[in-house]
Structure 1
Amino acid sequence: MKMNHYYKGRAPDLPQLNEVGKPRSQKTKASSKWIVAALLMLSVIPLIGGAFRLTVLAGTAEITPDKARFFVSSLPMVLHILSASVYAILGAFQFATGFRQRRPGWHRAAGWLLVICGLLVGLSGLWLTLFYPRPDGTGELLYALRLLFGSAMVVSIVLGFTTIRRGDVIRHHAWMIRGYAIGLGAGTQALTLLAGELIVGPPSELGEALLIGAGWVINLAVAEWAIRKRSVHTARTASADVSHLQ
């Protein structure tokens, strides 16, 4: 791959400098650790829920009427849970900037696995929405939201893959961040549902759909903020590096 093709859409990886010309690596490492820790914490609740559903499918938990739908076709559910677990945990470490830069081979290998797992999460989620019996309380709005955001996740990951194949690193990062934000929606939805119940009590069918949708919207809003911040930082760094080299 030609060097100028590889760097399309980004500045070269020259040292990042602060106002007095000192490296920012320590600040970057510290912020990266906090981001990874926060993402892992956000993944805890859906991971626990997924583990519980696997125990139900394994026959080690009581099968109640509300869980019977999981046995209509267990393979998509198992694929969804396992791929979502890998996607949530492994994806968090892609935000460790220093580690990613020191281990580019690991970043590429993990990226391939994340693309596969992310597509499995999105496609299996769409399958479960379309073909599983709807649980009680699932109205048309929630059904539409699951189809919308599931499709958006798949599209984001596909665009993230195609842009890196063209060497456009900035757009690759942006689309993969969006896909990860949607995939991590279950963690934020647990918080929005809890907050809604504490504030106004058990939600109605419409209220539950809005609270679940809010989880995806919040994640995407944070993702867009992070993407914009990264773009501004990249532009400023490139400008500072050029000035420093002149």
Structure 2
Amino acid sequence: MAAKVGSARWLIISLLLLSAIPLTAGAYRLSELIRGAEVTPANARFFESPAPVVVHIVGAAVYVILGSFQFATRFRQRRPGWHRRVGRFLVGCGLLVGLSGVWMTLFYPVPAGSGGGLLLFAFRLVFGSAMVVSIVLGFNAIRQGTVAQHRAWMMRGYAIGLGAGTQVFTQMIGELIAGKPDEVSRALLMGAGWVINLAVAEWAIRHRSRKQQAFPNRTAI
């Protein structure tokens, strides 16, 4: 019992730590908008149309912080009502994050020299759309009573939503190894963040499934 509680605690802490850097960057972006910072080519699009980026940042903060507690099995079992109520709220937050991300990709002008190009544009559209689809499928699954499918799709959606945290490390490692990335390299490093998160999520989904098949009377973490 103590080991399971400890594992759940470390899972939550790990997810929160992974999200810390992008959440800090998002908070700084919000502070720029609130205090009226100097408009530069890098942030002009946010001042011209602040609503999408504000929705994206606030929604992402709520989604990744509250969402981390949804994966702790013991926490869910002790507070099933909390899990359901917060889960419905997080569905809305996650959809806002994914849809606002797609909107910004399609309609925000890309500053010169920001890097990424068409490949990063495509990655953002694909993974943003995949996040929305995963959340919708997860919500529909729980309405139909298929808990395992619900959990799997919600894990995939959360993994994509947490991509910005992993991208900090993929870009850092990429620069340490190969120097400042060019347009294609930056896009690939960004894409790697999403792919790594999804790979970990898929491993966790299959690991849990195998564990439940081997020990059907036990509750996996």
Please give the range of the TM-score, normalised by the shorter of the 2 chains: over 0.9
Matching residue of 2:152: 174
TM superposition shift of 1:60: 4.3
Does residue 26 (structure 1) correspond to residue 2 (structure 2)? The answer is yes
Q: Is residue 108 of structure 2 the alignment partner of residue 114 of structure 1?
A: no
1:162 to 114, 134, 140: 140
User: What residue identity is the alignment partner of 2:203?
Assistant: W
Indicate conservation of the 8 Å contact 2:119/2:187, yes or no.
yes
Shift of 1:232: 1.0
**Is the 1:188–1:219 contact (alpha carbons within 8 Å) kept by the matching residues of 2?**
yes
Map Cα deviations across residues 183-218 of structure 1 (whole Å, 9 max, x no partner). 000000011001111111110000000000000000
Q: What is aligned with 2:173?
A: 195
Matched letter for residue 190 of structure 1? V
- 1:139 lines up with 2:117 in the alignment: yes
* Structure 2 unpaired stretches of 5+: none
- When the two chains are superposed, the root-mean-square deviation of aligned CA atoms in Å is 1.1
Cα distance in 1 for residues equivalent to 2:70 and 2:153 = 13
How much does 1:58 deviate? 1.2
Moved more, 26-35 or 198-207: 26-35
Give the letter aligned to residue 84 of structure 1: A
Name the structure 1 match of 2:63: 87
Shift of 1:56: 1.4
Which residue matches 2:20? 44
Distance in structure 2 (CA, Å) of the matches to 1:145 and 1:234? 34
Residues 79, 120 of structure 1: 8 Å contact kept: yes
Q: 2:209 is matched with which residue?
A: 231
Which residue, 50, 54, 78 being the options, matches 2:54? Answer: 78
Instruction: From the two aligned structures, give the one with the greater helix fraction.
Output: 2
Opposite residue 194 of structure 1, the aligned amino acid is: M
- CA shift, 1:63, in A, is 2.4
Which protein has greater RCO, CA pairs closer than 8 Å, 6+ apart? 1
Shift of 1:65: 1.9
1:73, distance to aligned residue in structure 2 (A): 1.0
C-alpha distance in structure 1 between counterparts of 2:93 and 2:183, whole Å: 31
- 2:105 matched residue in structure 1: 129
Partners in 1 of 2:180 and 2:52 — Cα distance? 30
Contact 1:72–1:132 (CA<8 Å) still a contact in 2? no
Mapped contact 1:122–1:154 kept (Cα < 8 A): yes
Partner secondary structure for residue 61 of structure 1: coil
For the 8 Å contact 1:56–1:63, the answer to whether it is kept is no
Deviation string for 1:64-84 (max 9, x for gaps)?
Answer: 221111122111110000000
- Provide the identity percentage: 63
Whichever residue aligns with residue 227 of structure 1, its letter is I
Q: Point out 4+ residue stretches in structure 1 off by more than 4 angstroms.
A: none
Q: How many residues were matched structurally? A: 216
1:54 to 30, 33, 41: 30
Mapped to 2, the partners of 1:131 and 1:221 lie a distance apart of 30
In structure 1, stretches of 5+ residues that fail to align are 1-24, 242-246
Report which of the two structures shows the higher radius of gyration computed on alpha carbons.
Answer: 1
| Greater mean deviation of Cα atoms: 90-99 or 40-49 | 90-99
